Amino acid sequence: MRFIISGSVPGTSTATSEIHDWLTENAATQQLDVQRVPFSAMDSWSFQTDDGRLAHDSGRFFSIEGLHVRTNFGWRRDWIQPIIVQPEIGFLGLIVKEFDGVLHLLVQAKAEPGNINAVQLSPTVQATRSNYTGVHRGSKVRFLEYFNGTRPKRTLVDVLQSEQGAWFLRKRNRNVIVEVFDDLPDHPNFRWLTLPQLRAMLHCDNVVNMDLRTVLACIPTVVGGSQADEVLASLPRGFPAQLLHSFIGGGTSVHNMNTLLSWISDVRTRRELVQRTRPLQDIERSGWIRTDNAIEHEEKKYFDVFGVTVRTTDREVNSWMQPLLSPANCGLLALLVKDIGGTFHALVQLRTEAGGVDVAELAPTVHCQPENYAGAPEEDRPSYVDYVINAPRKQIRYDGFHSEEGGRFYRSENRYMLIEVPDDFGDSDTPDHRWMTFDQITYLIGHSHYANIQLRSLVAIAAAVYTGNIA
Amino acid sequence: MRFIISGSVPGTSTATSEIHDWLTENAATQQLDVQRVPFSAMDSWSFQTDDGRLAHDSGRFFSIEGLHVRTNFGWRRDWIQPIIVQPEIGFLGLIVKEFDGVLHLLVQAKAEPGNINAVQLSPTVQATRSNYTGVHRGSKVRFLEYFNGTRPKRTLVDVLQSEQGAWFLRKRNRNVIVEVFDDLPDHPNFRWLTLPQLRAMLHCDNVVNMDLRTVLACIPTVVGGSQADEVLASLPRGFPAQLLHSFIGGGTSVHNMNTLLSWISDVRTRRELVQRTRPLQDIERSGWIRTDNAIEHEEKKYFDVFGVTVRTTDREVNSWMQPLLSPANCGLLALLVKDIGGTFHALVQLRTEAGGVDVAELAPTVHCQPENYAGAPEEDRPSYVDYVINAPRKQIRYDGFHSEEGGRFYRSENRYMLIEVPDDFGDSDTPDHRWMTFDQITYLIGHSHYANIQLRSLVAIAAAVYTGNIA
A385 to chain B, minimum CA–CA distance in Å?
28
Quick one: pLDDT at residue B372?
87
Which residues from A are below 8 Å from B269, CB to CB?
89, 91, 129, 160, 174
Hey, is A183 helix, strand or coil? coil
- Count of CB pairs separated by less than 8 Å, A with B: 70
Three-state SS across chain B?
A: CHHHHHHCCCCCCCHHHHHHHHHHHHHHHCCCEEEEECHHHCCCEEECCCCCCEEECCCCCCEEEEEEEEECCCCCCEEEEEEEECCCCEEEEEEEEEECCEEEEEEEEEECCCCCCCEEEECCEEECHHHHCCCCCCCCCCCHHHCCCCCCCEEEEEEEEECCCCCEECCEEEEEEEECCCCCCCCCCEEEEEHHHHHHHCCCCCCECHHHHHHHHCCCCCCCHHHHHHHHHHCCCCHHHHHHHHHCCCCCCCCCHHHHHHHHHHHHHHCCEEEEEECHHHHHHHCEEECCCCEEECCCCCEEEEEEEEECCCCCCCEEEEEEEEECCCEEEEEEEEEECCEEEEEEEEECCCCCCCCCEEECCEEECHHHHCCCCHHHCCCCHHHHHCCCHHHEEEEEEEECCCCCECCCEEEEEEEECCHHHCCCCCCCEEEECHHHHHHHHCCCCCECHHHHHHHHHHHHHHHCCCC
Sort out which chain B residues have CB atoms less than 8 A from A273's CB and list them.
87
Tell me which chain A residues have a C-beta less than 8 angstroms from the C-beta of B149: 266
Q: What is the pLDDT along chain A (471 residues), one digit of tens a residue?
A: 456 555 555 544 457 889 999 999 999 998 899 999 999 999 999 999 989 999 999 988 999 999 999 999 888 899 999 999 998 899 999 999 999 888 899 999 999 999 998 899 999 999 888 777 766 555 689 999 999 888 999 999 999 999 999 999 999 999 999 999 999 999 999 999 999 899 999 999 999 999 999 999 999 876 545 566 777 777 777 888 899 999 988 889 999 999 999 999 999 999 999 999 999 999 999 999 999 999 999 999 999 999 999 998 766 678 999 999 999 999 999 999 999 999 999 999 999 999 999 999 999 999 999 888 887 888 888 999 999 999 999 999 999 999 999 999 999 999 999 999 999 998 888 899 999 999 999 999 999 999 999 999 999 999 999 887 664
- Angstroms from B176 CA to nearest CA on chain A: 9
B91, B265, B449: residue with CB nearest A158: B265
Is the sign of the CA dihedral B174, B177, B183, B188 positive or negative? positive
Which residues of chain B are under the pLDDT cut of 70?
Answer: 1-14, 134-139, 222-228, 314-316, 469-471
Query: A128: nearest CA in chain B?
Result: B269
Q: Given an 8 Å threshold on Cβ–Cβ distance, is B268 in contact with A160?
A: yes
CB B385 within 8 A of CB B367: no
Return the residue of A nearest to B173 by Cα.
A269
Distance from CA of B287 to the nearest CA of A (A): 21
> Inter-chain contact B159–A265, Cβ cutoff 8 Å?
yes
Hey, are the CB atoms on B158 and A447 less than 8 Å from each other?
no
- Rounded to a whole number of angstroms, the distance from the CA of A158 to the nearest CA of chain B is 5
Q: Between B158, B258, B359, which is nearest A261 by CB?
A: B158
Residues of A in contact with B91 (CB under 8 A): 269
Chain B residues within an 8 Å CB radius of A176: 262, 265
Say how far residue B232 (Cα) sits from the centre of its chain.
28
Closest residue in A to B149 (Cα–Cα): A266
Candidates A261, A271, A358, A444, partner chain B, best to mutate (most B CBs within 10 A) = A261
Per-residue pLDDT at B315: 60
CA distance B149 to chain A (A): 10
pLDDT (tens digit per residue) in B73-114 = 888 899 999 999 998 899 999 999 999 888 899 999 999 999
Q: Measure in Å the smallest separation between the Cα of B174 and chain A Cα atoms.
A: 7
The residue count for chain B = 471
Contact A89 B269 (CB under 8 A): yes
CB atoms within 10 A of CB A178: 23
Q: Cβ contacts (< 8 Å) between A78 and chain B: which residues?
A: none
- For residue B268, the chain A residue with the least C-alpha distance is A89
pLDDT at B13: 45
Smallest Cβ–Cβ distance between A447 and the set B149, B277, B447 belongs to B447
Interface mutation target, options A126, A130, A141, A158, chain B, most CBs of B under 10 Å: A158
Contact A418, A246 (CB under 8 A): no
Q: What is the pLDDT of residue B225?
A: 52
Radius of gyration of chain B (CA): 22
CA distance A437 to chain B (A): 19
Report the residue from B89, B261, B268 with minimal CB separation from A268.
Answer: B89
- Mark yes or no for CB contact B160/A268 under 8 Å: yes
pLDDT of residue B1: 45
Question: To the nearest whole angstrom, how far is the Cα of B353 from the nearest Cα of chain A?
Answer: 15
3-state helix, strand, coil in chain A (%, to 5): 25, 35, 40
How many angstroms away from the CA of B274 is the closest CA of chain A? 6
Interface contact B265-A88, CB threshold 8 A: no
* Closest Cα in chain B to A444: B447
Cβ–Cβ below 8 Å for A155 and B88: no
pLDDT at residue B471 in the model? 47
Interface test with B, best of A448, A449, A450 (most B CBs within 10 A): A448
Confidence (pLDDT) at A363: 98
Contact B265 A87 (CB under 8 A): no
Torsion angle in degrees (nearest 10) through CA of A363, A364, A369, A371:
120
pLDDT given for residue A224 in this prediction: 47
pLDDT value at residue B233: 76
| Rounded Cα–Cα distance for residues A313 and A311 (Å) | 7
Count other Cβ atoms within 10 Å, centred on residue A351: 23
Least Cα separation, residue B283 to chain A (angstroms): 16
Structural domains in chain A, sorted by start: 226-272+329-466 (3.90.79.40)
Q: Do A160 and B266 touch (CB under 8 A)?
A: no
Q: Tell which of B51, B131, B172, B269 to mutate to test the A interface (max A CBs under 10 Å).
A: B269
